[in-house]
Amino acid sequence: MPRVSTTTAPQIELYYEDHGRGQPIVLIHGWPLSHRMWEGQIHAFVAAGFRVIAYDRRGFGDSDRPATGYDYDTFAADLQALITTLDLKDVILAGFSMGGGEVARYLGTYGSERIAKAMFLGAVPPFLLKTADNPNGAPMEVFQGMMDGVKADRAAFLATFLEGFFNHDPADTTFPVDAIPFAKWIAYNASAVGTVECIRAFGTTDFRADLKKITIPTLVVHGSADHIVPIDGSGKLTAAMVPGAKLVIFEGAPHGMTVTHGPQVTAAMLEFAKS
C-alpha cells in the first residue's frame, strides 16, 4: 500500500491513493470518514484527465493511529509531507468539512508556491467556536457534548450523527439506501482517540488569519440545508474573506452533499478545476 512518512514527532505513515495523470488534485476528507468518501469524485477527475491523490488523515482510514498530533498545525505538516514527498506542483487542494481546515492552515503556513487553486466544500472555516469576537459561533458545550458522546458510546453517537450528516428522511425513497451504512463502516474503523481529538481541533481552531493569506483562485461549495456546518457561519463567511472566491450554493443540500448531490458537486468542482 502506498504510504508517506510524516515529519512530525513521533513519525508516522499516511496512506494515500494515487490515480491518473495530469494536473494533481489532492482530496482531503471530512470527519469521521476517510479517502473512501471521495470515490465518485476520484473516478470523475481521473476520467477528466487529472491526477488524483486522496489520502487518509492520521488516525483515520488506513493511516497510522498515533495518540497525539490531532491539531491543524500537525495536519498541515502532514499535508506538506505528502506534497513534497510526491513532489507535487500546480496542485489543486480540495477539502471537505474539517478537511477545509487543512486547506486553510496549509496555505496560511506554507503558502501557495506548489498550489494553483483551492476548494472548500461544506468546510469548517473560518471559525466554528463562539467567542467574544465570533458571537455567532457555537458554544464550547456543543463540541464538548460531541466528545463526551463519542467517549461514552462511539458507535451509537456516530450512528445518530450520520443520520444528520445526510439529513436522512426515512420517507424519502430517492435517498441512496447504502449511504449511511457505508459511512458508518468508514467511521467505525477510525481511531477512537483521533475521533475525539478531531472534534476539539475543528471545533476550536480559528482559520480567519489563514484565509486572509489566500491569493489563489478559490471555490467555496456549500449546501443551504447543511445542519452540521451551517452555511451562514462558514461557507458564506469564507467566500467573503477570500478575495475573488467563487461561492456555489446547492439549495436543499445537506452536509453530506458529495453523496446526496454527488453529480452536481462533482460538476462544480470540475468546472472550477478546468477554468
CA distance linking residue 101 with residue 270, whole number of Å:
21
Whole-angstrom distance between the N-terminal and C-terminal Cα of the chain? 33
CA distance linking residue 97 with residue 273, whole number of Å:
19
* Nearest-10 crossing angle of helices 192-204, 140-152: 180
CA distance linking residue 198 with residue 245, whole number of Å:
27
Q: Which secondary structure element, helix H or strand E, spans residue 120, and what is its range?
A: strand 115-121
Q: Find out whether 211 and 239 touch, Cβ atoms under 8 Å.
A: no
- Cβ count near 243 (within 10 Å): 11
The dihedral region occupied by 167, where left means phi > 0, alpha psi between -120 and 50, and beta the remainder, is left
C-alpha cell at 258: 458529495
**Residues 234, 181, 3, CA angle at the centre, nearest 5°?**
70
Catalytic residue positions, numbered: 97, 226, 255
Q: Find out whether 231 and 238 touch, Cβ atoms under 8 Å.
A: no
